[in-house]
Amino acid sequence: MMSLLSFGADGWGRLILSATLTTLLLSLAALLIGAVVGSGIAAAKLSHQRWLRWLGESYSVVFRGIPELLVIYLFYFGGSGLITLVGQMFGAEGFIEAPPFLIGALAIGLISGSYQGEVYRAARLALAKGEIEAAVAIGMPRFHIARRILLPQIVRYALPGMSNVWQMSLKDSALVSVTGIVELMRASQVAAGSTRDYFTFYLIGGACYLVLTLLSNHAFRRAEVRLGRAWQSRTAAQH
């Protein structure tokens, strides 16, 4: 087994390691895209405008109701078809493939955004109204209210839910293997198919996902503790 995981010419360690890094980068990119989209969805759902609330709800229903794999297929093949069509209008020939990493991050990010929107909305509703009213009463500018009151507490309340969303994005990254990008799932398939040692390499792939999960859970827990202590210290100093 050690020879199979070596970094030499006959080993698969280099491929597995680079694929694990690709999985991590893909999941991080999707999480960041989802954070931007989710913030907009949360703002739309909390809006006083009915059409904005309807828009936010519709987005959540669509991207939470359609299977993740189907979304990836639609973005990858649909995007490739659109790029090919535009290329042909400018004289290009043949099929033009959409960038697999970009499409994968975008598709998973949009799915993640539908869940992150609910996390941010719930975190905003968890804030005490009295704090906002007090800030408005003393004439604090809206920018300062957002920076000093809203954002720190929303992040603190949202972290537990964001941990779950991150785990979902991490596992959904395995679906991007259908686009041909060599992430952890694809690398496990290639190594298993080449060596016919399916059990070993799928077990290694599962272990790598588990390690990423454990490390990220630890990071989220530490962030929760630090933010909680920082907010308590800040509150104590103000009183």
What is the C-alpha separation between 229 and 154, in angstroms, rounded? 15
What is the C-alpha separation between 36 and 163, in angstroms, rounded? 16
pTM: predicted TM-score of the whole model, two decimal places = 0.87
Q: What pLDDT sits at residue 105?
A: 93
Say how many C-beta atoms besides its own lie within 10 A of residue 208's C-beta. Answer: 20
Q: What pLDDT sits at residue 157?
A: 86
Q: What pLDDT sits at residue 226?
A: 82
Q: What pLDDT sits at residue 132?
A: 74
What DSSP designation does 176 have?
Answer: G
Q: Which two tokens mark 170?
A: 């991490």
Phi and psi, residue 121, nearest 5°: -65, -45
Domains along the chain with CATH numbers: 16-228 (1.10.3720.10)
Share in percent of the chain as helix, strand, coil (round to 5): 80, 0, 20
Q: What pLDDT sits at residue 39?
A: 93
- State which residues of the chain have pLDDT below 70: 1-10, 231-239
Q: What pLDDT sits at residue 6?
A: 65
Say how many C-beta atoms besides its own lie within 10 A of residue 168's C-beta. Answer: 19
Q: What pLDDT sits at residue 196?
A: 86
Q: What pLDDT sits at residue 151?
A: 83
Q: What pLDDT sits at residue 234?
A: 64
